[in-house]
Amino acid sequence: MRIAFQGASGAYSEGAAQRAWPDAETVPCEHFEHVFAAVAGGRTSHGLLPIENSIGGSIHRNYDLLLEHELPIVAETELQVVHNLVALPGTDISRIRRVCSHPQALAQCEGFLRSLPDVEIVATYDTAGSARQIREEGLADTAAVASARAAEIFGLGILKAGIQDFRDNITRFLLIARDPQPLGAPDKTSVVFALPNAPGALFKALSVFALRDIDLTKLESRPMRGRPWEYLFYVDLGVGRDDVRCARALDHLAESARWVRTLGSYARWVDPAATVPAARQADASLS
């Protein structure tokens, strides 16, 4: 299993891939488009994409790319993100005049960054790539927002750990592949559809799921290119595609939608560390 990810070694996407699939080989890519190209071209078997963050919200570019490519979602995973302010070893925080990182990382640390006096905030394409640039160019007055692993890889010091605005800073990732076979029993489905611009169209579309007691775990709208002020709707359903309720709901939706496309049906992420065996729970209740 070879997993393409966006960013340099030490990026959070790589950390998520290694945590969920520790035996996989990870392949860095400069841009999200290159992740799709690596999978489509056979250079890797899978690609991992951040899709939303509990603080910063959705990564809209990846929603658009999922629609542009015929690469199904086969799994998801989550990562608890801990941001750190990193710089060349021995640097005092008072010397920092510039902080660089990916826009999502900067947004997730907005409160802390505002507390730094006379510091320029610079958006870059990658957290780990920002750390690498500081090392390669010897930028003594620059810090990056990056992972502890990125700091270790590029020989940087951590000026301050855990600088994200909220402790529960979680990023959700989607795993794409050429082979549509999901990694695990599907109990979640991602769908995108377009509707006619008519009163009640969205209400009617969503009602096909409510009528069948299907949970919508995510709803996202995106502009429809070439049709100003019209929108696509992405939904995550808390049910597998082969469940009869889901199949009937999507057939029902197709009756009123301009078109409907299933992006993937896959197993929802369950953190193994958060799963306590039943026997251990019983032991705890007796103590």
| Catalytic residue IDs | 171, 173
Q: In what order do the strands lie in the sheet with 157-161?
A: 120-123, 98-101, 142-146, 84-87, 157-161
Run of H or E residues at 33: helix 32-40
Residue type for position 221 = S
Q: How far apart are CA 275 and CA 252, in angstroms?
A: 36
Q: Do the bridges between strand 170-177 and strand 231-237 make them parallel or antiparallel, or are there none, so unpaired?
A: unpaired
β-pair type (84-87, 98-101): unpaired
Q: Tokens standing for 119?
A: 């510091």
Residue 168 is which amino acid?
A: D
Q: Which helix (H) or strand (E) holds 88?
A: none
- Dihedral sign (CA 203, 209, 214, 218): negative
DSSP element (H, E) containing 172:
strand 170-177
Task: Measure the CA–CA gap between 278 and 283, rounded to whole angstroms.
Answer: 9
Residues in the chain, total: 287
**In the structure encoding, which two tokens stand for residue 11, read together?**
């990026």
Phi, psi of 223 (to 5 degrees): -60, 145
Q: In this structure, are residues 28 and 17 in contact, taking their beta carbons and an 8 Å threshold?
A: no
